């Protein structure tokens, strides 16, 4: 990057966390989001700043266009992906969890809902519903008319609302559920698992063809408990779990003989766990060792 006192560099650095958050919410991949930021920078330094009225909006426009290009390429990769595809988990700071809107927008549960949108619908939804950009700015970013963007936004919002996870519970309730799950997993206690799992709990696991994982979602408390306990019996290593915060929400870091084996993001409704999102693919665990800064502004 250029001299930090250069106006282009200064503007880019000032909005970097926002640009990363936009790219990540569109892509679900931190690695690809970082690549998008590099592409954004290369285009930004060629812009005549004297002709830019709103630098923040202009940078987001570049990031959105590059994210759309990357998202379409990723769709082809996902078609050949082995098993279930989950977003790349991010280790996040406590301030992300405290920001309810931000934590929901990057939660594994909502990110999976966004996977069901088309690339343009996802871009419009993210920019409008999450970052509250106006229709004119979004139209410039996705190369549509403001009227078309309004229609896309309405359609995407209706689609997401029909599938959006229920309201998150207070942090204290979530922590209690996670602690109960942690004890049950470490002791391999079937009844303990059944007590903390909701009857309709869904487990989605992502091994990327490298680690053992279910090829399809596992639905129901008994099936989830059997899947986990059956797999753990084949593992001779010592299993430990550690509470952490991933994508602004409760999670467990799962270790075998002290080595990180995966990250399990957790969705809690009422007092029970309704969603488990277990990422074991080693290529997706690069951003769970150091905190990633996210922001909506």
In tens, the pLDDT along 11-61 reads 999 999 999 999 999 999 999 999 999 999 999 999 999 999 999 999 999
**What's residue 170's pLDDT?**
82
pLDDT tens for 263-282 read: 999 999 989 999 999 999 99
Q: Distances from the Cα of 62 to the Cαs of 9, 37, 47, 58, 269, in angstroms?
A: 15, 9, 11, 6, 38
Cβ atoms within 10 Å of 84's Cβ, excluding its own: 21
Rounded Cα distance between 113 and 38, Å, is: 27
Rounded Cα distance between 138 and 63, Å, is: 12
Length of the chain equals 297
Rounded Cα distance between 103 and 24, Å, is: 13
pLDDT tens for 282-293 read: 999 999 999 999
Rounded Cα distance between 142 and 68, Å, is: 8
Residue 2 pLDDT > 60: no
Rounded Cα distance between 182 and 294, Å, is: 27
Residue 200 pLDDT > 80: yes
pTM: 0.92
Averaged confidence pLDDT in the chain: 93
The full DSSP string for 162-188 is HHPPPPPPPHHHHHHHHHHHHHHHHHT
Bridge partners (DSSP) of residue 253 are 242, 263
């Amino acid at each position: 990057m250029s001299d930090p006192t250069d106006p282009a560099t200064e503007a880019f650095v000032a909005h970097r966390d926002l640009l990363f958050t936009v790219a990540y919410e569109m892509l679900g991949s931190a690695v690809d989001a970082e690549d998008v930021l590099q592409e954004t920078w290369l285009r930004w330094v060629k812009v005549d700043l004297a002709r830019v009225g709103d630098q923040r909006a202009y940078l987001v426009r570049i990031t959105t266009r590059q994210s759309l290009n990357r998202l379409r390429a990723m769709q082809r990769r996902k078609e050949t992906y082995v098993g279930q595809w989950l977003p790349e988990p991010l280790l996040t700071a406590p301030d992300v969890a405290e920001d309810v809107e931000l934590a929901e927008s990057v939660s594994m549960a909502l990110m999976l809902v966004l996977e069901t949108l088309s690339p343009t619908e996802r871009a419009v939804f993210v920019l409008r519903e999450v970052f509250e950009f106006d229709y004119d700015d979004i139209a410039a970013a996705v190369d549509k008319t403001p009227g078309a963007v309004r229609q896309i936004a309405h359609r995407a919002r209706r689609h997401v609302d029909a599938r959006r996870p229920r309201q998150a519970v207070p942090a204290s309730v979530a922590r209690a559920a996670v602690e109960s799950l942690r004890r049950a997993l470490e002791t391999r206690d079937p009844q303990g698992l059944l007590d903390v799992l909701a009857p309709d709990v869904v487990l989605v696991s992502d091994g990327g063809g490298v680690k053992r994982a279910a090829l399809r979602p596992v639905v129901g408390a008994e099936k989830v408990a059997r899947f986990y306990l059956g797999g753990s019996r084949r593992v001779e290593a010592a299993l430990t779990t550690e509470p952490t915060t991933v994508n602004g929400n409760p999670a467990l870091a799962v270790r075998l003989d002290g080595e990180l084996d995966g990250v399990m993001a957790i969705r809690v409704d009422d007092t029970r766990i309704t969603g488990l999102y277990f990422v074991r693919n080693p290529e997706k665990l690069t951003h769970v060792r150091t905190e990633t800064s996210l922001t909506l502004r």
